């Protein structure tokens, strides 16, 4: 029994275990700078910079009747008090939907929605001026529930109505598939509003440089896009702006879109002075985006042989006051609710509602993590009903490696899900009993499997421009508009440059995140940057190596087979011919540069937002539940990642461990309720994130295999650990306690109520 | 306004400020020392950790009037000293930092613990470090750092000067 007939014949796994990854790991190239306390954007104090402060709405939903700034303007030290009327250009910004006012003019839609902004000589003066601004509001009914938001009589948050985005996808004969089922599970799952809790709150400075440019320095994920948008808001040509967005003191998606940069830039433009703006934690909590809470009704079934036949999903997501990435988040939620499994029929529906519950936006795991939690709970429950081991049940139901993707789209063939499960099948944590009790403690082991997309869906900003250059000092530069947020992009890029250019890592410099120095590479998001840089160097590295040799030939006679190597050009036999600094000096006026325009690689299928490339991860979680307190302690996590060749072992370890604990937090403690449109906490004393004492032992495994002729190469590692840890922990809690986990986080109260009912 | 005199990174300083002005703000705004970070402002995250009279303290919880005659040491000073060298080396080698925003505060606490006599055991050090939040690493690299620094069997090759 339990023989998976979808499992293909797998070539041997190219597996690196945790100890192997540790042996490969090296210090990040930027560790020394970070350990020397190199400033972050919000540490730049500037020379005589003014202090900015924002007047945010005290109401979740209200009409603005009047704003009186006269008293504020008259206060000492105040240089500017600006409202929407002072915006020279586009008054709103956004991505697919341009719906977010830089400053609110007619109504406010969430707590903290900016109404006015002040610049003054000191922070105290700025805050005094903010307090002196008079705003008359007419309160509107607060929309604090996404379901109510979609009712006909609901107050509308935006003029077009509260349904921001919806989609429906179906394939297969649903009726026949349901009829074939012996076991059906239907339930409603709830995922929390998780906060990014980057330790560097939004902050930075806007200064005037000697070329008459405004230099905007705030941590971000896409400096070039920010430059274009801010230029539109200020009604300036983009070349009057320079945006520096790196390094970033944590983002996880939360700094992907603009937040307060336009306000600081507006103040700097109007005052002619440098202006600092740095949110405190409370302001950051109010104004920063959160993970979309979702309610997910899932119904799925399998036949008597334990074969999945259908899945139906109805997803409702709360995007809060503004769209930002909401539509793409919902698209990802729908695409990933299917999982790497095969069905006869699929019927999916998603709706995204505006509410007055703050603002939800991009967050590592990006829509998928919510629905993967619900899906992997369903899978575990169906496996139990059908009498299968959870791992065998998953193996049995995997789509073939060359099967179409979740929405029926063409995807790159991939056997990662098969391999990830196969690796965990023999893991000691899985072959041990999956539950046991020891006095007051209940132990459980849970399994989850996810696949997740790389890059943006069809129609997204998938193209990228990168530049290779020989710098004046002889460094081989990679210039990219990406930012370093801690993910070890610099380390991974350095490694790839050395590999593809056949040089030493010391010969390389990675230049990031500065619109004056780097090209438009698109967003540092969607787990895409390593894959993008790999593609660029794989496809264009040979041309660049040849260009370096050709540049040398202009003035120097080189052996015919000269080539790049560590330190400089060498002969065919490896004898040094010309080092890179000498090469740079020699071609001082015509140093070579290669502009690489990578076209978007997307699925050819005509399905909006569908993805082409997927990676996979399977995880085991072991939890210990205290039957006295109801508290869940995650003791162990094992992550088997099928993401192709490991570029940076330290980067992979860091991304896996960090994301896994973020997922653990989402599954066990993290939620930010918004009753009446007001967040229940504004700081880390009311919103808890895991501490060192909460962190489990984490084992990371890397499966390097890709399918023969796979054109994409290494998959991104930035998000998938969150995606897989959340359902693994949820399933472990279910195994330990018998609780039907449908709502995250699993609070002690939920556990105790369940245990009391059982007693 | 009060006048407060204290020692900052080995130098005598004098500040005129409101008595309730936080040390974190003094460091950043008055002395332009930005290694201490304003992560929460309420003593929960540890990103603004400094030493006062050799003890780690959240700078956001200390008011100016409390500083009279005290010795304050910030990470700018510690980062260039040999005392923190084993800690910085271990953090870099073990992947104990990613974005790096929590790193100065974390290194202040770690260096303090590493200098204690007797040196805490690894588990004790881990408990004492739980007041320093990190959102990037999942504490994997920080656990490895702790093993390097506080597990005698592991620390020997890294920290040869330390008597066993």
Which residues, at least 6 apart from A380, have a Cβ–Cβ distance to it below 8 Å?
A390, A446, A447, A731, A734
For domain A463-598, which architecture applies?
2-Layer Sandwich (3.30)
Decide if B133 contacts A691 (C-beta within 8 A). yes
Alpha-carbon gap, residue A297 to A317, rounded angstroms: 12
- Using pLDDT thresholds of 50, 70 and 90, give the confidence band for residue B155: low
The reply to whether residue B38 touches residue A36, judged by beta carbons under 8 angstroms, is no
Q: Under CATH, to which class is A41-140+201-248+255-287 assigned?
A: alpha beta
How far, rounded to the nearest angstrom, does the alpha carbon of residue A731 sit from its chain's CA centroid?
23
Phi-psi label, residue A366: left if phi above 0, alpha if psi -120 to 50, beta otherwise: left
Residue pointed to by tokens 């490696």: A401
The reply to whether residue B100 touches residue A660, judged by beta carbons under 8 angstroms, is no
Same fold? A15-24+290-457+605-758, A41-140+201-248+255-287: no
Per-residue model confidence (pLDDT) at position A723 = 98
Q: Is A604 exposed, middle or buried (0-12, 13-18, 19+ CB in 10 A)?
A: exposed
% of chain B beyond a pLDDT of 90 = 91
Convert the pLDDT of each residue in A256-296 to its tens digit: 999 999 999 999 999 999 999 999 999 999 999 999 999 99
Alpha-carbon gap, residue A216 to A485, rounded angstroms: 17
Interface probe for A, chosen from B86, B101, B124, B137 (most Cβ of A below 10 Å), is: B101
The reply to whether residue A30 touches residue B92, judged by beta carbons under 8 angstroms, is no
Alpha-carbon gap, residue A624 to A678, rounded angstroms: 34
% of chain A beyond a pLDDT of 70 = 99
Convert the pLDDT of each residue in A87-132 to its tens digit: 999 999 999 899 999 999 999 999 999 999 999 999 999 999 999 9
Alpha-carbon gap, residue A529 to A483, rounded angstroms: 10
**Mind giving me the DSSP string for B21-53?**
-BHHHIIIIIS---SS--SSSSSSS-TTEEEET
Alpha-carbon gap, residue A74 to A630, rounded angstroms: 57
Per-residue model confidence (pLDDT) at position A7 = 64
Token representation of residue B156:
């020997």
Per-residue model confidence (pLDDT) at position B158 = 41
- pLDDT, average across residues B42-60: 98
Closest partner residue to A486 among B28, B45, B99, by Cβ? Answer: B99
Residues of A in contact with B100 (CB under 8 A): 30, 34-35, 38, 40, 247, 249, 486
So where are chain B's domains? 2-78, 82-152
Convert the pLDDT of each residue in A566-607 to its tens digit: 999 999 999 999 999 999 999 888 899 999 999 999 999 999
Per-residue model confidence (pLDDT) at position A1 = 38
Alpha-carbon gap, residue B98 to B76, rounded angstroms: 19
- Indicate whether A4 pLDDT > 60: no
Tell me which chain B residue has its CA closest to the CA of residue A40: B101
Per-residue model confidence (pLDDT) at position A137 = 98
Chain mean pLDDT for chain A: 97
How far, rounded to the nearest angstrom, does the alpha carbon of residue A651 sit from its chain's CA centroid?
16
ipTM passes above 0.85: yes
For B132-154, give one letter per residue: b (16+ CB within 10 A) or e: bbbbbbbbbbbbbbbbbbbeeeb
SS3 content of chain A, % helix, strand, coil (to 5): 30, 25, 45
Closest partner residue to B79 among A36, A251, A650, by Cβ? Answer: A36
Per-residue model confidence (pLDDT) at position B163 = 36
Per-residue model confidence (pLDDT) at position A58 = 98
Convert the pLDDT of each residue in A204-235 to its tens digit: 999 999 999 999 999 999 999 999 999 999 99
- Indicate whether B161 pLDDT > 90: no
- pLDDT, average across residues A170-182: 98
DSSP H or E run through A44: none
Per-residue model confidence (pLDDT) at position A6 = 53
Residues of B in contact with A32 (CB under 8 A): 92
- Using pLDDT thresholds of 50, 70 and 90, give the confidence band for residue A5: low
The reply to whether residue A658 touches residue B47, judged by beta carbons under 8 angstroms, is no
- Using pLDDT thresholds of 50, 70 and 90, give the confidence band for residue B94: very high
Per-residue model confidence (pLDDT) at position B152 = 72
Alpha helices in A201-241 (DSSP H): 223-234
Alpha-carbon gap, residue A468 to A536, rounded angstroms: 10
- Using pLDDT thresholds of 50, 70 and 90, give the confidence band for residue B160: very low
Looking at chain B from residue 15 to 44, which residues have their Cβ under 8 Å from any Cβ of chain A? 28-29, 32, 34-35, 37-42, 44
So where are chain A's domains? 15-24+290-457+605-758, 41-140+201-248+255-287, 463-598
- pLDDT, average across residues A127-141: 98
Name the DSSP class of B151: -
- State the fold for domain A15-24+290-457+605-758: Aldehyde Oxidoreductase; domain 4 (3.30.365)
Convert the pLDDT of each residue in B95-147 to its tens digit: 999 999 999 999 999 999 999 999 999 999 999 999 999 999 999 999 999 99
Q: CATH for B2-78?
A: 3.10.20.30
Q: Which CATH number fits domain B82-152: 3.40.50.2300, 3.40.50.720, 1.10.150.120, 3.60.10.10?
A: 1.10.150.120
Convert the pLDDT of each residue in A671-716 to its tens digit: 999 999 999 999 999 999 999 999 999 999 999 999 999 999 999 9
Token representation of residue A425:
């099948």
The reply to whether residue A250 touches residue B104, judged by beta carbons under 8 angstroms, is no
Decide if A351 contacts A317 (C-beta within 8 A). yes
Closest CA to A539 of A496, A477, A603: A496
Tell me which chain B residue has its CA closest to the CA of residue A682: B40
Decide if A290 contacts A559 (C-beta within 8 A). no
- pLDDT, average across residues A31-47: 97
Length of chain B: 164
């Amino acid at each position: 029994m339990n023989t998976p007939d979808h499992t293909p014949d797998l070539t041997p796994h190219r597996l690196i275990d945790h100890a192997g990854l540790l042996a490969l790991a090296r210090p990040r190239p930027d560790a020394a700078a970070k350990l020397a306390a190199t400033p972050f954007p919000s540490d730049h104090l500037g020379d005589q910079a003014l202090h900015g402060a924002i007047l945010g709405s005290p109401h979740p939903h209200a009409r603005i009747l009047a704003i009186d700034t006269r008293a504020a303007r008259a206060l000492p030290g105040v240089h500017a008090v600006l409202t929407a009327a002072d915006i020279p250009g586009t008054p709103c910004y956004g991505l697919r939907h341009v719906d977010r006012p830089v400053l609110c003019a007619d109504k406010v839609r969430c707590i903290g929605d900016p109404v006015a902004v002040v610049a003054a000589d000191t922070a105290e003066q700025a805050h005094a001026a903010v307090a002196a601004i008079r705003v008359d509001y007419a309160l509107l009914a607060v929309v604090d529930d996404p379901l109510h938001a979609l009712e006909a009589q609901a107050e509308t948050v935006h003029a077009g109505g509260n349904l921001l985005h919806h989609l429906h996808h179906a394939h297969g004969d649903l009726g026949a598939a349901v009829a074939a089922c012996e076991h059906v599970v239907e339930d409603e799952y709830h995922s929390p509003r998780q906060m990014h809790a980057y330790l560097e709150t939004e902050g930075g400075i806007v200064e005037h440089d000697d070329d008459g440019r405004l230099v905007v320095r705030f941590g971000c994920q896409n400096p070039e896009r920010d430059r274009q948008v801010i230029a539109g808001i200020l009604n300036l040509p983009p070349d009057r702006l320079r945006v520096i967005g790196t390094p970033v003191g944590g983002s996880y998606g939360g700094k992907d879109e603009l937040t307060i940069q336009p306000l600081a830039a507006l103040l700097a433009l109007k005052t002619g002075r440098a202006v600092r703006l740095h949110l405190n934690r409370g302001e950051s909590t109010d104004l920063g985006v959160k993970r979309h809470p979702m309610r997910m009704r899932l119904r799925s079934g399998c036949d008597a042989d334990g074969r999945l036949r259908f899945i139906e999903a109805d997803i409702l997501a709360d995007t809060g006051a503004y769209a930002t990435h909401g539509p793409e988040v919902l698209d990802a939620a729908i695409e990933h609710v299917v999982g790497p499994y095969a069905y006869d029929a699929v019927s999916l529906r998603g709706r995204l509602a505006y509410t007055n519950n703050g603002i939800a936006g991009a967050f590592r795991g990006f829509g998928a993590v919510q629905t993967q939690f619900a899906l992997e709970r369903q899978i575990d429950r169906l496996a139990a009903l059908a009498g299968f081991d959870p791992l065998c049940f998953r193996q049995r139901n995997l789509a073939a490696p060359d099967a179409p993707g979740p929405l029926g789209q063409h995807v790159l063939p991939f056997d990662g899900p098969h391999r990830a499960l196969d690796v965990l099948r023999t893991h000691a944590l899985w072959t041990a009993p999956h539950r046991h009790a020891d006095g007051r403690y209940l132990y459980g082991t849970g399994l989850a499997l996810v696949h997740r997309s790389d890059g943006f869906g069809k129609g997204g900003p998938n193209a990228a421009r990168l530049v290779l250059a020989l710098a004046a000092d002889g460094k081989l530069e990679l210039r990219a508009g990406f930012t370093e947020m801690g993910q070890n992009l610099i380390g991974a890029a350095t490694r790839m440059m050395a590999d593809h250019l056949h040089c030493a890592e010391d010969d390389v410099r990675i230049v990031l995140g500065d619109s004056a120095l780097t090209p438009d590479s698109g967003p540092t998001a969607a787990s895409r940057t390593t894959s993008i840089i790999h593609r660029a160097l794989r496809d264009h590295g040979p041309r660049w190596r040849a260009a370096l040799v050709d540049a040398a030939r202009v003035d120097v006679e080189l052996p015919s087979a000269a080539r790049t190597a560590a330190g400089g050009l060498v002969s065919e036999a490896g004898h040094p011919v010309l080092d890179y600094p000498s090469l740079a000096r020699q071609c001082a006026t015509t140093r070579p540069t290669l502009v690489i325009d990578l076209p978007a690689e997307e699925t050819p299928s005509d399905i909006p937002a569908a993805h082409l490339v997927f990676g996979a991860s399977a995880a085991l979680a072991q939890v210990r539940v205290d039957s006295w307190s109801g508290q869940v302690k995650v003791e162990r996590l094992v992550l088997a990642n099928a993401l192709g060749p490991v570029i940076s072992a330290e980067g992979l370890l860091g991304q896996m461990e960090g994301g896994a604990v973020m997922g653990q937090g989402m599954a066990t403690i993290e939620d930010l309720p918004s009753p009446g449109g007001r967040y229940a906490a504004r700081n880390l004393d009311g919103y808890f994130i895991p501490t060192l004492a909460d962190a489990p032992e984490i084992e990371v495994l890397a499966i390097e295999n890709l399918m023969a002729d796979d054109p994409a190469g290494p998959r991104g590692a930035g998000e998938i650990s969150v995606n897989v840890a959340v359902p693994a922990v949820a399933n472990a809690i279910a195994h330990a306690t018998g609780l039907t986990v449908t709502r995250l986080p699993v609070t002690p109260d939920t556990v105790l109520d369940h245990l009391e009912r059982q007693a | 306004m009060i006048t407060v005199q204290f020692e900052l990174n080995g130098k005598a300083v004098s500040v005129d400020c409101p008595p309730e002005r936080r040390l974190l703000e003094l460091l950043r705004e008055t002395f332009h020392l930005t290694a201490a970070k304003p992560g929460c402002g309420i003593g929960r995250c540890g990103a603004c950790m400094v030493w006062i009279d050799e003890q780690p303290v959240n700078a956001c919880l200390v008011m100016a009037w409390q500083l009279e005659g005290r010795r304050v040491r910030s990470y700018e000073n510690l980062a260039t000293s040999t005392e923190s060298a084993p800690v910085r080396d271990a953090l870099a080698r073990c992947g104990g930092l990613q974005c790096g925003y929590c790193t100065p505060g974390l290194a202040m606490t770690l260096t303090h613990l590493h200098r204690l006599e007797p040196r805490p055991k690894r588990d004790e050090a881990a408990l004492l470090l739980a007041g320093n939040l990190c959102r990037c690493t999942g504490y994997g690299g920080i656990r490895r750092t702790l093993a390097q620094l506080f597990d005698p069997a592991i620390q020997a090759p890294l920290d040869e000067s330390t008597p066993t």
